[in-house]
Structure 1
């Protein structure tokens, strides 16, 4: 029984032509080999599993090949190529920098560089995961990397280019590898399945390529697992089951329920998904990607951007024509917010179900929002039978035609009836006197402000209390009372209120003078609360407070006697008793501290 070798190793490319998805790299390297313009140091950087180490090995084998082809490829027949394929070549050295990242490891490598190759033209040193080297190891490698012997070539490979020192980057020729496209991955997997005799379909391989996210090694590993799982036959259903992917058909059904506003069907569909073991965040993320694909499918020119199974593309285009764009954008916003809040939600199932409820009734909510004006007008028109309105005299109609029209906001329904009523209704169509208010006085040609009319009506219902004019003693007393209230509540603004000076301007307003911007800020923050308190305390509903910074204000504070220093005490003492000074000088005494 032959020993099993995984596809990633068994079908590793052996020449530049078999490298998948990196034509911009392989073409450059082949031309450099043909024109004999090889750099002394290369840096291959890019995502995992896209061919960095593979290209490094192919380059090392090709430059030492004794019979290179006209296309710059290795012959795979000479002694150098055969020994390389067996793994016994002495001219190629690989170092894993993840486990050999110390200064001593680099010094050992530098010592080996001094020896010329016994066979072949070049000694190639491949350092994988070079970003794992320590700073000291990088610095120890700098001089050799900058000026190596003519027979030495260094190929560095990394997945994290940003971690490499700029001094290393400046000494290398950099090649950026890209993720392998889905189509290239599918074609490569199809080729391998034909060689292995595995029965498969393009849809299942497309799912594998999507799951690998541009990494060929991952795609080959997934394919090996599914082959073992399905006993040598890859189908769309067992690929979905093995990769734990939710079929896009579920999302199409959910979109149908959204359009029909069928909440029951949507909840039952989610129950079916939940029983299969799919997490809620996977459903939300998949639905968001599905709606994104629908938005892309709105324009048939960009349908090629859809990263989905070929059989679904036509279905996307047909569904996109039936769903309005505003609905898709609104649904995408709801799904985005739900996905963000999923982690913090305690009841995650309820969180997803609430999102489904919003999606199912989204179309109805948008229709109400768009037709809000017409809906309101219909409702108001239906309720006009019970609304009383005043009769409009013909003279008033002529006046209104001559002057700008002023609407009276008595009530929304009454306003609608007045606007829709004839300009001069006949006298005989007035409502019975029992249900009508008293007729207004004849028009005088002078228009009354609507706000003033409302005030008059309010005064008739609840007469206003007369405001008491401000008086200095009462204001100061109320101000002190509010300040004390701030002190009781431990409000930091209490001190600013206590130091401020109050000056009455007129019967309804007064100024508050503060000595600096900080005090003024505290007064400004608490001014609204103070105004409400003083309005009630002073019985003046029109009271207004204006705060002003007055740097020249003399704040009256109690004088606090400053304690005297020892020097001041001594000066005061010798003024009263001069002999004390003579005594101090004769004895050469010092003042105490």
Structure 2
């Protein structure tokens, strides 16, 4: 059976021109080689799978090439290049610092550096995962790294630059590798599938690139798996199935249901997603990314930030034209809050379904922006109505984080003279223009201007510099004023109300499981000393002192309950209550105990006298 070589090894770049997505580094290294400006130590750092070790090997091969090309590439034909490609070069040494991280391993390496190369100009030492070296190993390596022999070059590679000692960093020329873009990954995968005579859809390659998040090695490994899964015919659907990714079509369908306020269809689609094995947080994260792409598509300047295939980008752009930026930002905020609280939710399915319901009603949200200068009220719909005119009510709007206030509906005022019916254009102008001052009448008869009966505008008539409310607005204002007056009314103090509120005060501590406080409060008694004075009786000094500590809290409680800040709480110590209470026998002192013992047993006193004992009472 033929030995299979994975794509990550089979298509590993052999020269700088084939390195994907790191042109800023490969160009610098080629120019340094051509101009003979090589540093003695390099540090390649960046995410995994972006080409750090590959570039280190290409640099090592190119440095010792005997027939360097004009563009700074190795010839791959000389003896040095052939021995490197065959893995038998004596001038290039690789050390895995993850398994050789002790100070003895570094000392062995330093001993090897002392010997000059037998063939070629340089000895190159590639140390991979250098951040795994111990502190002692780093310190043993410092002197050699700072002043190596002229023929020695060190290339260090790491994924965690912050773990390397600053003294090491200062001795190296640092190159930061970046993540490979999705488009570069797709282009490289397309080149490989064409060489392997594999049929692959561009959307499927996009999915692979997005799933691997800029890691070329992971992309090639994933490609190998899907090729085996699909027998060489890679499609968008079987890639979705293999990578367990939620199809974008579901997000478009859910968005259509939300825009049409079709809650039933949205919940059915979410149930179908759950039946496919996806969790609620996966759906929330995917939909947040979907809405983010819709928001980005609103502006041509940032359209390139939507890293999807061309036909899918067109769908995004078409849908984003139907949504306002205000709606998308509010929806993203709602989904972000839902995703944050997802882990704490007991019923996670209901948690996500509530977010769906809120978003269905979110498109009817209304923003009222008050203009302080003119007092005009502007109504803004976040999303086109689309024929649906059901009003969004408080619970959904409050949960969605959008403030909603209902415009007062002005009732028609009585008219004293008939007025001709306005034309549609004139009526529209009346609705959008500011209220007009009535002209002064020449006759004693007052002429009343009819007010429009549109539910979208409340007519305001200036009177003495103040705005006069009419119709439903005036009724609401009067009701609110009455409610405020009732809330500010003082509740009279009665003995029954005192006992009810006192039990409520004690119940707070009982629920907090503070039983000692509950016992002290239950032993106290309340009585009315005046119309605004409450007496709190204690039966002993200990309890009285406890009440003094709690006096402020008790006083504030009664002031709040009776809505009367003038209430005075007076503490009373009545020890007669303690005397009338049967509390059982009192404890005896040591002297009294001895006297009782002598009275009952006379021999005890005789024993004390014979032994000449002195008692310390």
TM-score, structure 1 normalization: 0.69
Distance 1:51 1:543 in 2: 78
Question: What are the equivalent positions in structure 2 for 1:218-229 lying under 5 Å apart?
Answer: 218-229=218-229
Q: Please say if residues 408 and 472 of structure 2, whose CA atoms lie closer than 8 Å, have aligned partners that are also in contact.
A: no
The 3 A distance-change label for structure 1 pair 324 and 112 is same
Would you say 1:542 and 2:574 are equivalent positions? no
Would you say 1:118 and 2:118 are equivalent positions? yes
Q: Please say if residues 101 and 134 of structure 1, whose CA atoms lie closer than 8 Å, have aligned partners that are also in contact.
A: yes
Distance 1:540 1:343 in 2: 45
Q: Please say if residues 365 and 404 of structure 2, whose CA atoms lie closer than 8 Å, have aligned partners that are also in contact.
A: no
Question: What are the equivalent positions in structure 2 for 1:115-194 lying under 5 Å apart?
Answer: 115-194=115-194
Q: Please say if residues 44 and 155 of structure 1, whose CA atoms lie closer than 8 Å, have aligned partners that are also in contact.
A: yes
Distance 2:549 2:296 in 1: 54
CA drift of 1:2 comes to 2.4
CA drift of 1:417 comes to 9.9
Q: Please say if residues 555 and 568 of structure 2, whose CA atoms lie closer than 8 Å, have aligned partners that are also in contact.
A: no
Q: Residue 23 of structure 1 corresponds to which residue in structure 2?
A: 23
Distance 2:171 2:489 in 1: 86
CA drift of 1:365 comes to 4.9
Q: Residue 37 of structure 2 corresponds to which residue in structure 1?
A: 37
Q: Please say if residues 407 and 415 of structure 1, whose CA atoms lie closer than 8 Å, have aligned partners that are also in contact.
A: no
Distance 1:271 1:239 in 2: 22
Distance 2:40 2:489 in 1: 93
Q: Please say if residues 8 and 221 of structure 2, whose CA atoms lie closer than 8 Å, have aligned partners that are also in contact.
A: yes
Q: Please say if residues 66 and 78 of structure 1, whose CA atoms lie closer than 8 Å, have aligned partners that are also in contact.
A: yes
Q: Residue 68 of structure 1 corresponds to which residue in structure 2?
A: 68
Would you say 1:283 and 2:290 are equivalent positions? no
The 3 A distance-change label for structure 1 pair 371 and 338 is closer
The 3 A distance-change label for structure 1 pair 414 and 115 is closer
Question: What are the equivalent positions in structure 2 for 1:266-305 lying under 5 Å apart?
Answer: 266-305=266-305
The 3 A distance-change label for structure 1 pair 22 and 361 is same
The 3 A distance-change label for structure 1 pair 19 and 542 is same
The 3 A distance-change label for structure 1 pair 173 and 402 is closer
The 3 A distance-change label for structure 1 pair 414 and 40 is closer
Q: Residue 409 of structure 2 corresponds to which residue in structure 1?
A: 377
The 3 A distance-change label for structure 1 pair 114 and 406 is closer
Q: Residue 575 of structure 1 corresponds to which residue in structure 2?
A: none
Question: What are the equivalent positions in structure 2 for 1:40-439 lying under 5 Å apart?
Answer: 40-366=40-366, 368=392, 374-377=406-409, 381=411, 414=475
Q: Please say if residues 42 and 156 of structure 1, whose CA atoms lie closer than 8 Å, have aligned partners that are also in contact.
A: yes
What's the secondary structure of 1:361's corresponding residue? helix
The 3 A distance-change label for structure 1 pair 69 and 255 is same
CA drift of 1:115 comes to 0.5
Distance 1:535 1:362 in 2: 39
Distance 1:410 1:541 in 2: 37
Q: Between 525-534 and 316-325, report the one with greater CA deviation.
A: 525-534
The 3 A distance-change label for structure 1 pair 90 and 259 is same
CA drift of 1:173 comes to 0.4
CA drift of 1:536 comes to 10
Q: Give the RMSD, CA atoms, in angstroms.
A: 4.2
The 3 A distance-change label for structure 1 pair 346 and 534 is closer
Q: Please say if residues 555 and 567 of structure 2, whose CA atoms lie closer than 8 Å, have aligned partners that are also in contact.
A: no
Match of 1:529 among 526, 547, 554: 554
Deviations 1:61-91 (A, max 9, x none): 0010110001111100000000000000000
Structure 2: give runs of 5+ residues left out of the alignment: 367-390, 415-443, 445-460, 495-505, 522-530, 534-546, 570-617
